[in-house]
Amino acid sequence: MLDPTCPNRGSSVTTVIVDAGGEPWERVEPLLARRMNELAPGAALELHSIEPRVCDPLSQWCAKRGHALTRGATDDEASRFHIRKHGLSPLEQI
């Protein structure tokens, strides 16, 4: 499972990209939890997955934690999910 980190240059909010490939939710969830814990409130994470059964548990996981989830574009076989960590971004706290 690839786990590249890519700061969003030109933005004050960090964006992390996690490429889960075809991994099942049971393997994606611990990595996702760890990466989200590392992010500041308001930061974004983009999850790429070719596993169609990730969508429902991901939606439930985000709802339980108060993270905003939107489904991004699908290219080739991979789906992209954008997750915004709950809480205010550093700029919104000023």
Average pLDDT, the chain: 82
**Domains observed in the chain:** 15-84 (3.30.110.40)
Instruction: Check the CA dihedral 63-69-81-74 and report its sign.
Output: positive
Provide the 10 A C-beta neighbour count for residue 88: 11
- The model's pTM: 0.76
Please choose, from the candidates 20, 44, 22, 41, the residue with its C-alpha nearest in 3D space to the C-alpha of residue 31: 20
Predicted confidence (pLDDT) per residue in 2-30, tens digit: 333 443 334 456 689 999 999 999 999 99
Long-range CB contacts (within 8 A, 24+) of 66-70: 67/36
Predicted confidence (pLDDT) per residue in 30-88, tens digit: 999 999 999 999 999 999 999 999 999 999 999 999 999 998 877 778 899 999 999 85
